[in-house]
Every structure is written in structure tokens, then in C-alpha cells.
Amino acid sequence: MIAIIDYGAGNIQSVSKALAHIGCEAFITRDKDKILKADGAVLPGVGSFGDTMDTMNEYGIKDTVIEYTKSGKPFLGICLGLQLLFPKSEESPDAEGLGIFDGSITKIPSGEGLKIPHIGWNSLDIKKNDGLFKGIGKNPYVYFVHSYFLNASDRNIVSAQTEYGVTIDAAVEKGNVFATQFHPEKSGETGLKILRNFADIVNG
């Protein structure tokens, strides 16, 4: 059973529907005990870094997420859910993130022909052909919606990158913690395969 962590993000229902579509049992909750007892957890993300951290602190979810990531059970962050795993974001300089990993979250520089936010399909350069990307083709297309991007300090955690004016660390993984900047729940069959891979990790 997978807990989808509820702090009011707009894409929670789409994540829930995608998991249901692949036959994965999941439930939406912000209850600490239910989250910690779940076999796996997903932190979706739509919104601003600072507002989201304020809400997570208000609901007591921040400490719960940190505790869960240390439990050894599989955890997946999606979009803003990836960025929140890092200490800070240029979007909200005064906000303190979860600090699970280290790296910089900065605004995508505007350039000729580039629209910000970055919305649409981009191909991935997969660095690790296991974990979330087991059985995924070499350069799959996935769906992005974001204005800020990750540059991870530890290059060993980067499992996929994409290009949009700059090189973007599009997915990370270390131990039981996985995260994607793109939205697997909106990325067609490739995204569903990624979610199936996460469900398989949860199920051992």
C-alpha cells in the first residue's frame, strides 16, 4: 500500500488515478501514523517551494517525510516533490527545504525561443537503467511543468537529465529515495512504466 502525501497539491488526484490505473493500491493522507505505516510513499508537487514548506510545517508533514525517507521504505518525489528534497530554492530564498540531498534549485534562464515555465515533452538522457528506469528506452519523452531546476551536488545520485537551455537533473535516486522533476502521471505509457517500476520496488 502506497501513501500519497496530502498537503493540498493540485496533482494529487492525477497521481492517485495513475496508480489505480496500473492496479496499485494507494491512499491519500496527511496522517503521520498512516504515512509511516505505508509500504511506500509519494510526495507529489505543484506550487511554490516556500508556500509548500509552510503548509507542510503547518500540517506537521515535514518531519514525517524526513522520518519516512530514513525508514528504508521506498519514497518517490514528483516535480516540486523533487525540489523539496533539497535545502533551498531560489524561488523562496527564506524557506528551508527537507535537506535530504544537497544541491541548488535555480530558475531556468530565459533564452532565445525558450518559454518559462518549461511546459511540455522533453527527452531524457538516462544515467541509470535500473530502479525507476528499468526497462525504459534510452531517450524516452516525458512531460515537464516547471520554472526552477536542480543541479545536484552529488553527481552519483542523478539518474536522468534533460536539456532546456541548460542541463537539468531530471531524476535522482539514492537508496530508497527516488524523485523526478517531470510528471510520470502525465507522461503516457513511459510514465506509467516508471510508476510500475516504483510499485515493484515497493512490493520487493
Over residues 101-125, the pLDDT tens digits come to: 999 999 999 877 889 999 999 999 9
Q: How confident is the model at residue 10 (pLDDT cuts 50, 70, 90)?
A: low
**pLDDT tens, residue by residue, 128-168:** 999 999 999 889 999 999 999 999 999 999 999 999 999 99
* pLDDT at residue 7 in the model: 85
**pLDDT tens, residue by residue, 50-105:** 999 999 999 999 999 999 999 999 999 999 999 999 999 999 999 999 999 999 99
* pLDDT at residue 16 in the model: 95
Alpha helices (H) in 31-180, listed in sequence order? 32-37, 49-59, 61-69, 80-83
Which domains are seen in the chain, by residue range? 2-202 (3.40.50.880)
User: For 19-42, what is the mean pLDDT?
Assistant: 97
Rounded to whole angstroms, how far apart are CA atoms 152 and 85? 11
Cell representation of residue 163:
536539456
CA dist list (Å): 87 to 24, 142, 204: 31, 26, 30
* pLDDT at residue 112 in the model: 75
CA dist list (Å): 55 to 96, 107, 183: 12, 22, 21
Catalytic residues: 79, 183, 185
* pLDDT at residue 45 in the model: 82
* pLDDT at residue 8 in the model: 76
pTM for this prediction: 0.96
